[in-house]
Structure 1
């Protein structure tokens, strides 16, 4: 058994500190004010490469041009909106951009229906406020205010989950680069290097749509699902291996065949068509994203480690796949059963998977 990490999930700037240090040492290109790396080095950090004798591992597998556009946007006065279906690595890319550019990915606001305007602007330490009245000492800065003061990147997760009035608190910040504090008669002005990276799920359209005024202040980059099965298998295998080391699970090196099967199932069901294009399928209500495939395989490895011989098999992933597919107990179950009988059952090399899924289905 390997030694357990100090924390379960280090921040990107902690986990990849050696790579960031090597890139900074080798980086001789111009850097925007308060950036830790040049835009070129940030892209290398995200997509992989070398820095001297240090190998830079890929953090994102996909279009280089998309990442270049995202990095170039953050270098301007426009904020960046990463848009895509669930599981397209929006949060992952956001975190690594902040780690590479500012050296700090923790200035984060999690958007929910209950997120208040104070999360964007500032709040108050009410004990001090009552005792001393309004003062800078009683002020509780938001992640956005802290980023403005330090010339860093602030991150907003699930921007369209924020209520509309809370979203609108960003307009002055993004357009004027100023955050007024009328209670004190002062304002916070952003230092060079400040910007905002937001993420949004395009399945949430209609939840809290961005106003046209706010949308104009963002440059939108759409992160797509992996284009091919090999690319998606590679992404899943890499992330599962990373998680496995953290969770002290068996190596996923010998699990590529099972990973490919999970990925194939997800791709066929979310596209509504088998790989050979011959059979149309009912599409389940869930997203069946790459992130969910990673979760299914990681859960399967945990089963194999604690209740099997450590080798990932069909029986270890069957339950996880069914749980990912069947979100609606009626419509999704029909779609899943039809897929098992018309596709999985007909594939000779998938008989073990068919039996395992039928056993789980009961």
Structure 2
């Protein structure tokens, strides 16, 4: 149907919760903020009393530090392994603080300085010369003018000389526009700040300059340590993905237990019993676990016409997770032989997992 989309931004998905928090938010608000810091925190980590769901499942103290960072005059840089919900956290913070998470620059090797500053409508530029009407504002410039948060995804994928165009923006809170005349500049309105993300292990990244690092507060987003937390998050994310498939039931608890245990064993290189296992080169993140169980649920319902089992999880594991190194397949087989098969002697779910590998 016209108008339907696969995924709405956080400010639309959670519009009712944001409205509820706004109506019951007596706390002081920093200049330019739509909610108080306490309400922002409640939006991200949940508040049952006000009917607000938890959206970020991780370290609550990390969320507090991020909120404090955004209130200051330094940018916030979320670093960590791929799949640890850095982008989701930046989206949630932006939606709660300024009402929009859609001022985004996607970092890549193709990003040029114009993407972080401004460009030109060349038809107008040729017809009129440099003018405010001919200038095309970047998301960064738009955020400065409106006092909002700009998100820069994968900052370290941008070339170093492009990254450094943020230095004066973050330190002086100003952006010079010399083409419009000497002394012309845009100064950031209250509420402006930058939330960037960067992966630690991905290929194709660049080192940040020392000058730019000093303009950011670094916060490391780690994998979820509590298996119960991770299980609950996966179940919630899967339910959201399967909302358009009401006939597919929620996975059985023992299937989720197998999924979470496999990912945690291979992610850490050690089982709960203390046995060492070979770690694959691929990132065994919670996000990949959600992808795996989502694919397995679709396969079970639409191809096999039955309930999801651990056999379906095993069948999807290789294609969803092991993407780079052929050795990862060998490591998975070794894990099945050394760890999964002994567990299968006393567990039907683990036996089904072994049958599917």
TM-score with structure 1 setting the length: 0.93
1:10-159 paired onto structure 2 within 5 Å = 10-50=8-48, 54-159=50-155
Structure 1 residues 255 and 128: CA distance shift in structure 2, 3 A: farther
What's the offset of the Cα at 1:271? Answer: 1.1
**Counterpart contact for 1:160–1:204, Cα < 8 Å:** no
What's the offset of the Cα at 1:250? Answer: 1.8
Which residue of structure 2 lines up, in the alignment, with residue 181 of structure 1?
Answer: 177
2:289 is aligned, of 289, 293, 299, to 293
Which residue of structure 2 lines up, in the alignment, with residue 267 of structure 1?
Answer: 264
What's the offset of the Cα at 1:204? Answer: 4.0
The whole-number CA distance in structure 2 between the counterparts of 1:64 and 1:340 is 35
What's the offset of the Cα at 1:303? Answer: 1.2
The whole-number CA distance in structure 2 between the counterparts of 1:63 and 1:4 is 39
The whole-number CA distance in structure 2 between the counterparts of 1:27 and 1:339 is 51
Consecutive unaligned residues in structure 2, runs of 5 or more: none
**Counterpart contact for 2:30–2:191, Cα < 8 Å:** yes
SS in 2 for 1:283: coil
State the aligned residue count: 351
What's the offset of the Cα at 1:312? Answer: 1.1
What's the offset of the Cα at 1:211? Answer: 0.6
**Counterpart contact for 2:291–2:320, Cα < 8 Å:** no
Structure 1 residues 128 and 18: CA distance shift in structure 2, 3 A: same
What's the offset of the Cα at 1:257? Answer: 2.0
Tell me the C-alpha RMSD between the 2 structures. Answer: 1.8
Which residue of structure 2 lines up, in the alignment, with residue 360 of structure 1?
Answer: none
Runs of 4+, deviation exceeding 3 Å: 246-249
What's the offset of the Cα at 1:352? Answer: 1.3
1:203 is aligned, of 197, 201, 204, to 201
Consecutive unaligned residues in structure 1, runs of 5 or more: 358-362
The whole-number CA distance in structure 1 between the counterparts of 2:46 and 2:64 is 13
The whole-number CA distance in structure 2 between the counterparts of 1:164 and 1:247 is 44
What's the offset of the Cα at 1:328? Answer: 3.9
